[in-house]
Structure 1
C-alpha cells in the first residue's frame, strides 16, 4: 500500500491571547473544526506537533516534518512566535505546498505583507456554524489547488529563485555516494549511469513546469558526474536552462548560454536544435539592447536552422529578425529595407505552405495513435498533449504569417481555431509577445511594401 500523504499543521495549542487586541482564541477549536476535517477529507494524515509520537527531542521531529510533510498549514493567529518561526523554516526548506491561514483580526507584521493569508472568523470561545461551513469549503479548494499545481508559494524561493530545495540536493549527494561506494569499477560505472539518468529525467521534469533554475543546477551536476564536458545533449540543455533562468540577470545568462553553445562547435555544427537555440539567444541579446551584431548573428543562425529543418518555428523567427533589420540602423536606405521585407514576406508565405502541409499529417498521426490515447495511462495523456500542442502551434504560426502578409481575415480565423484547442497559458503569452513585436516593427516600415501593410482597425 502506498504511504498516505501527510499534512503538518503549525499553530499554537489551547486558548491563546492575541496581545495586539487582547482577545483570547481557542486554537484547539480552530484546528478541530476548521482544519483537520478538511485535510482528512482529502485523504491526508493531519497532525500538529502535540500529536507527534516521539522519544527524545521533539524539535528533531518538528524540523523533519517541516522538511518532509507533503503539505504544511500554518495558522498565525495571535502572532504566535513559534508558528511564525516554523513557517519561516518551512519556506526556507520547501518552495511550495505551504498554506498560511489566520483569524481575521490578525494584524500582519510588516514583513509578512507579501504573503497570501486565508482568513477565518473566530468568536473567541466558539466559531459560528456558517463560518465553519464557509471556511471548510474555501480551505478544501485551496488544498486541492496547492497540491495539484505545486506553484511556488515560498517568498524565499520566489526572490532567490536559483535555490535548490534540500531534497533535491540530498538526491544528488546520494547518487554520487552510491557511485563512490561501488565495489568494482564496472559497478561504479553502472551506478553512475543510473544516477545521471535519474537526474536528467528530474531536470527535464523541472523544465516541463518552467523551473529552469532547478533544471540548470541538475544539468550542471550531470555534467560534473559524467565527466563529459562536451556532451552535446547535456550542453544544449544546460545552455537552454541558463538562457531561460535569466540568472543572475538576463544579459549575463544570455552570454553564458552562448558560451556553452560555442563550446560544442556552434560555428560549424549542423545540429539544427543547437543553431536554433543560438538564434534565439542572439535575438534576445539584440532585443535587450546589446547591439546590432547580435541581430546579424541571429539572422544567420535562424537561416541555417530554417534551411536545415524547413520548419515553421525557425521560419517565423527568421521573418521577425529580418523585420528587425529592416527597422534597425543596419539598413541604410529604403532599398535595403525593402530587400529584407521581401525576404520576410517570402518566409511567411513558406510558413503558410508548411502549415497547410503539416495539418493533415498531424491529424493522420493522431488517428493512428487514437487507441493509445484512450487507454487513460500516462503515455496516452502525453500523446494527447503532444498532438494538442502541435495543432495549436500550426494555427498560431498560420495566424502570425497571415498577419505579417496583411491577410487579417485569415489571421482572425486561424487565431479563433487555435483558441479552440486545449493549450497552456504560457503558449498564449509566447504567441502574443511575438505578435506585439511584429506589429510594432511592421508599423514602422509597412508603407514600403506593395501593397502597403496597414494595421487592422
Structure 2
C-alpha cells in the first residue's frame, strides 16, 4: 500500500453472480476491471476490492478497516448482494461523505433506496457493451471528482440525523484494529483471493483441471474465513473442475461435484447456474451408467434452469435428456415415449428461435465494440468472446436441426461452424453430443412426426 496515495475500497461481489429476482447472470469481475478500477486509478487513487487483499488475518478486520479508513468507497449493489448492502450500511454509519453507490440498471432493489443517489450502468449479462464502458467511465470519473475532496454528506444516516457527529473514537478504533492479534501478522505472507482465482482460471484455459481444482479449493477455504456460507461462484467453479479432473476416476469425481452443489442449497435454490451445473453432472452420471434416477434429476434441473433463463445451453441439453428418457426404463409405454419426443421437438424449435434472436444481436454488438478504442488485450478478449458466442449459436442451431431431422440445414450450419475460430474442445464437445443424440434417435426416431430417418 502506497501511504502517499488516497485509497478507494470497492464494495461488490466477484465472479459471475445471479440476480435472483430476474435470473440474469452478471460477470462482476468485468464490471470491476472495465468500469471501476481503471477510472479510479486514472485519478491517481489506489483501488482495491476485498478479494485483492492478502488474507493472512481476519477478513472481517480488514473489511472494517477499509470501510473506516478508505478515502473513497464505491459500492456496486448489482444482483442485490446482501454483503454489499450490509457493508454500504456500515460505511454510511462510519463516514458522512465520500461514498459512491452504483448498480446495473435492471436491478430490482430489495427495499426503498430512493434516499440514496445510485449511478446506473448497463450490463449485458456476461459481457459489457464497450460503448457503455466509455459513457460510464466518464460519468464515474466526474462523480469521483465531485465527492473526493468535498465534505458534503452522501450518507442518509448523517443527512437525516443532521445533528449527528461522526464518532470521536475513530483514532482509538484505528489503533485497536492495527494492534489486534488478527492484524499483527505480516499481510504479505498471505495471497490475495483474486490472484488465486486468476491462477485457477488460467489453469482451466490450458485444461489443467487438477491444478485448477486445487486452486479453487484454496479459494473456497479462504473465502469461508469468518463466513457461514461459501461463495456460490467459487463452488460452481470447484464443482466443474472437480469432475473435469476426473480423479481418482470420473464417476467418483462426478459424485464429489454433486456434493459440492448440494452444499449450496441445490434442492431449493433459484440460482440457474447452480441447477444447470447439477443438470450437467447428473446427465454425465446417467451417461456413465449410474442409473435412471440421475436422468430424472438431470431433466428436472435443466427444466428449472431453462425456464429461469430461457437460453440455448439449457435448451439443447434439456432436449437430449428427453430423448434419453424416451429410450429408458423410466417410461412404460409407447405414448409416454412419444410424449418425450414431442417435448424434445418443441425444445429444439425453441432453441432455433433463440438462435435466430441472438445471432443479429451478437453481430450488432460485435460491430459496435470493434469501434471501441481498446487495448490489444481488450481487443483480443473481444474477438475471442464474439467468436465463441457465434460458434455456440451456430452449433446449437445445427444440433436442433439434426434432432428435427432437417439434415440439409444441419449440414449448412455444421460447415459454418467449422469456419468460426474455436478451441478444439468446443468442437469435440459438440460432436460427442451429436454422436450420442444420433445413437438415441436411431432407437426411437420412428415414433416422431415426421419420422426421424437416419442420415445417409
TM-score by structure 2 length? 0.59
Within the candidate set 200, 205, 211, 1:203 is matched to: 200
**Gap regions ≥5 residues in structure 1:** 1-174
Confirm or deny: 8 A CA contact 2:56 2:186 kept in the other structure: no
Aligned to 2:295: 295
Aligned to 2:447: 448
Name the structure where helix makes up a greater proportion of residues. Answer: 1
Aligned to 2:342: 342
Tell me whether 1:212 sits opposite 2:209 in the alignment: yes
Decide which structure has the larger Cα Rg and report it: 1
Distance 2:453 2:212 in 1: 43
Confirm or deny: 8 A CA contact 2:55 2:191 kept in the other structure: no
Q: 1:387-430 deviations in whole A, cap 9, x for unaligned?
A: 00000000000000000001111111111111111111111101
Deviation at 1:183, TM superposition (A): 6.8
Aligned to 2:387: 388
Alignment of structure 1 residues 110-121 onto 2, 5 Å: none
Aligned-residue Cα RMSD (Å) equals 2.5
Confirm or deny: 8 A CA contact 1:179 1:189 kept in the other structure: no
Distance 2:215 2:422 in 1: 28
Aligned length: 283
Distance 2:57 2:322 in 1: 52
Change (3 A) 1:335 1:236: same
Aligned to 2:241: 241
Aligned to 1:370: 370
Confirm or deny: 8 A CA contact 2:311 2:354 kept in the other structure: yes
Tell me whether 1:408 sits opposite 2:407 in the alignment: yes
Secondary structure of 1:456's match? coil
Deviation at 1:295, TM superposition (A): 0.3
Secondary structure of 2:371's match? helix
Aligned to 1:65: none
Aligned to 1:271: 271
Confirm or deny: 8 A CA contact 1:192 1:225 kept in the other structure: no
Distance 1:455 1:187 in 2: 70
Deviation at 1:225, TM superposition (A): 2.4
The structure with higher relative contact order (CA 8 Å, sep 6+) is 2
Distance 2:450 2:218 in 1: 55
Deviation at 1:177, TM superposition (A): 6.5
**Gap regions ≥5 residues in structure 2:** 1-53, 60-177
Deviation at 1:178, TM superposition (A): 9.0
Secondary structure of 2:192's match? helix
Distance 2:426 2:406 in 1: 23
Distance 1:193 1:269 in 2: 33
Change (3 A) 1:187 1:301: farther
Change (3 A) 1:341 1:192: farther
Q: 1:108-164 deviations in whole A, cap 9, x for unaligned?
A: xxxxxxxxxxxxxxxxxxxxxxxxxxxxxxxxxxxxxxxxxxxxxxxxxxxxxxxxx
Deviation at 1:190, TM superposition (A): 7.0
Alignment of structure 1 residues 60-75 onto 2, 5 Å: none
Q: 1:2-35 deviations in whole A, cap 9, x for unaligned?
A: xxxxxxxxxxxxxxxxxxxxxxxxxxxxxxxxxx
Distance 2:453 2:397 in 1: 19
